[in-house]
Amino acid sequence: MNIRYIIPFILVLSFCFKNSRPQQLLLDVKELSSDKYEGRKAGTEGSRKAAGYIIERFKEIGLQRVNNSWKQEFKLNGSKKGAFPGINVMGSIPGKRKDLIIVSAHYDHLGKINGAIYNGADDNASGVAGLLAMATYFKNNPPEFTLLFVCFDAEESGLQGSKTFVSTPPVPLNLVALNINLDMISRADNKKIFVCGTHHFPYLKKYVTNNNKGEVKLLAGHDDPRLGRDDWTNQSDHYSFYQKHIPFLYFGVEDHPDYHRYTDDYEKIDRETFSNTSELLTKTVADLDKKLSLQKTFREKLIMEK
Ligand SMILES: [Zn+2]
Would you state the pLDDT for residue 13? Answer: 60
Residue 117, domain extent: 21-305
What type of residue is 149?
F
Per residue in 158-180, pLDDT (tens digit) is 999 999 999 999 999 999 999 99
Domain for residue 133, yes or no? Answer: yes
Residue 189: which CATH number?
Answer: 3.40.630.10
| Residue 218 contacts residue 259 (beta carbons within 8 Å) | no
Per residue in 281-295, pLDDT (tens digit) is 999 999 999 999 987
**Cα distances (angstroms) measured from residue 245 to each of 79, 125, 173, 250:** 30, 27, 10, 15
Domain for residue 230, yes or no? Answer: yes
Domain for residue 259, yes or no? Answer: yes
Domain for residue 15, yes or no? Answer: no
What type of residue is 209?
T
Q: How far is the CA of 97 from the centre of ligand 1 (A)?
A: 30
Domain for residue 58, yes or no? Answer: yes
Would you state the pLDDT for residue 83? Answer: 85
pLDDT at 304 over 50: no
Per residue in 50-59, pLDDT (tens digit) is 999 999 999 9
- Where residue 305 falls among pLDDT bands split at 50, 70, 90? very low
Would you state the pLDDT for residue 103? Answer: 98
Q: How far is the CA of 94 from the centre of ligand 1 (A)?
A: 28
Domain for residue 257, yes or no? Answer: yes
Q: How far is the CA of 156 from the centre of ligand 1 (A)?
A: 7
Domain for residue 148, yes or no? Answer: yes
Q: How far is the CA of 257 from the centre of ligand 1 (A)?
A: 14
pLDDT at 232 over 90: yes
Domain for residue 278, yes or no? Answer: yes
Q: Number of structural domains, the chain? A: 1
pLDDT at 303 over 60: no
Q: Kindly report the pTM of this predicted structure.
A: 0.91
- Where residue 82 falls among pLDDT bands split at 50, 70, 90? confident
Q: How far is the CA of 6 from the centre of ligand 1 (A)?
A: 49
- Where residue 306 falls among pLDDT bands split at 50, 70, 90? very low
